[in-house]
Amino acid sequence: MKQAVKIKEDVYWIGVNDRRTRLFENYWPLPRGVAYNSYLIVDEKVVVVDTIERNKMEDYIESIEAVLNGRTVDHVIVNHMEPDHTGALRSLLGRYPGATVIGNVKTFPMLKNFYDISDRLLEVKEGSTLDTGRHKLSFYMTPMLHWPETMVTFDATTGILFSGDIFGAFGTLDGGIFDDELDLDYLEEEISRYYSNIVGKFGQPARLALDKLGKLPVRVICSTHGPVRRSTVSEIIARYDAWSKHETAKGVVIAFSSMYGNTERMADGIARCLAENGIRKIRVHDTSKTHPSYMINDIFRFRGVILGSCAYNTGIFPTMETLLGELEQIGVKNHLLGYFGNKSWSGGAIRRLEQFAGNVKWEVVHPPHEAWGAPKADDREACREIARAMAAKLHTLYPDEV
Ligand code: FEO
């Protein structure tokens, strides 16, 4: 049983919850599911803004038909081509064959390649407008947030910004659709994890988009994932502003890879020493157990990062390699780094961590240390030196933060 939810006059939420998919983009864990938000504007012309993933077509069509009561769809706006928002497009156009698809010059080659859709297309450019009767829609390009074709649609009549993935979140909409109907504290990690994992690589495009969207009188944000924002518009914009500037808080993320516990002992010693030196926000992750999306999310939050790995077959441990590769790929900025390793039988982890430090250009707070097997007294002391150097740097940078 599905029902549309009225957002503003003539505008309805017709999204769906997905609690079955385990991995978003077949990679990012979805412990709390995800919502695919789609919207319907019922005016002299009927407009669908973004569609959904294909797995909930029946519910989706039911919602649309219940609102339209026999009317047809005139336009489908594709703000973003990724298939979690266009998977339903072919079926929707099959149902409403007279509908035109609205996108930009970068959208249409993708539509052709993904779905072989090339008819009834209406191209919009920066600032193009569409008058649907009572509603005046305008279009703004937001390239690389987070695909090349991404754009947003602004409804001047209601002040609604249909923002695509921007301002989105993981997590289903469990009854509440609007921010003031939901427990935002419960969704907190899914909101920041969505930014850090999906959008985080594109800080500079985000800054350009925020400048552009800041000129619009936005009263409501209708993203393609997460809550509809009507009470926390300025809050989510402020968070994007801080995130896109790579602003971080006082704290340290320790991520370690350990086969038989020796590297973990070194990590624990570092964590204890950080605490003794006044650092309160410490997050310790075992890379074999924690998905990189959670470690990356914490790294986006906190300035300090300490990485430690045992060697594995003359290189670094595979799950640490995954984390390093992702951080390099995302290009996370503005961090302090400490690192350590354990030789196992070959060595090799420190060499890769050193290469990583050069690639991401983070400030290394202290020379690294490598133990061989069980950490001895001098190994433990060397790890404590790394911790003390990190704590001292953080206290200097954030003198008033706990
Ligand atoms: Fe929600 Fe980039 O797709």
- CATH number for the domain that contains residue 306: 3.40.50.360
For residue 374, the enclosing domain spans 251-397
**What's residue 3's pLDDT?**
81
Mark whether 292 and 382 lie in a shared domain.
yes
Q: Is 366's pLDDT higher than 90?
A: yes
* Domain-embedded: residue 215: yes
Q: Judge if 274 and 213 occupy the same domain.
A: no
Q: Is the same domain home to 164 and 258?
A: no
Task: Give the SS3 label for residue 211.
Answer: helix
Same-domain check for residues 257 and 236: no
Task: Render pLDDT for 91-134 as a digit per residue (tens, 0 to 9).
Answer: 999 999 999 999 999 999 999 999 999 999 999 999 999 999 99
Q: Assess whether 91 and 154 both reside in one domain.
A: yes
Task: Decide if pLDDT at 348 tops 80.
Answer: yes
84 Cβ closer than 6 Å to some ligand 1 atom: yes
Residue 198 has which token pair?
């999906």
Give CA–CA dist 171/106, Å, rounded. Answer: 29
**Is the same domain home to 141 and 83?**
yes
Does residue 1 register a pLDDT over 80?
Answer: no
Model pTM score: 0.95
Share of residues in the chain with pLDDT > 70 (%)? 100
Q: Which of 234, 226, 170, 219 is nearest to 196 (CA)?
A: 170
Q: How far is the CA of 118 from the centre of ligand 1 (A)?
A: 22
Q: Is residue 402 part of a domain?
A: no
The pLDDT tens digits of the residues spanning 303-332 come to 999 999 999 999 999 999 999 999 999 999
Percent of residues, the chain, with pLDDT higher than 90: 98
Report how many domains make up the chain.
2
Question: Both 140 and 207 in a single domain?
Answer: yes
Same domain as 257, residue 230: no
Identify whether residues 185 and 36 lie together within a single domain: yes
Domain boundary among 244, 269, 287: 244
Is ligand 1 within 6 A of the CB of residue 80?
Answer: yes
Nearest CA to ligand 1 atom 2: 82
CA dihedral 283, 288, 290, 293 (to 10 degrees): 100
18: pLDDT strictly greater than 80: yes
For residue 394, pLDDT over 80 is answered with yes
One domain for residues 260 and 223: no
- Of 226, 244, 262, the last residue of a domain is 244
Q: Tell whether 157 is covered by a domain.
A: yes
33: domain CATH number? 3.60.15.10
- State the Cα–Cα distance between residues 207 and 214, nearest whole angstrom: 10
Residue with tokens 């020493």: 273
**C-beta of 82 in contact with ligand 1 (< 6 A):** yes
Q: Are residues 16 and 128 in the same domain?
A: yes
Quickly count: other Cβ atoms within 10 Å of residue 64's Cβ. 24
pLDDT attached to residue 125: 98
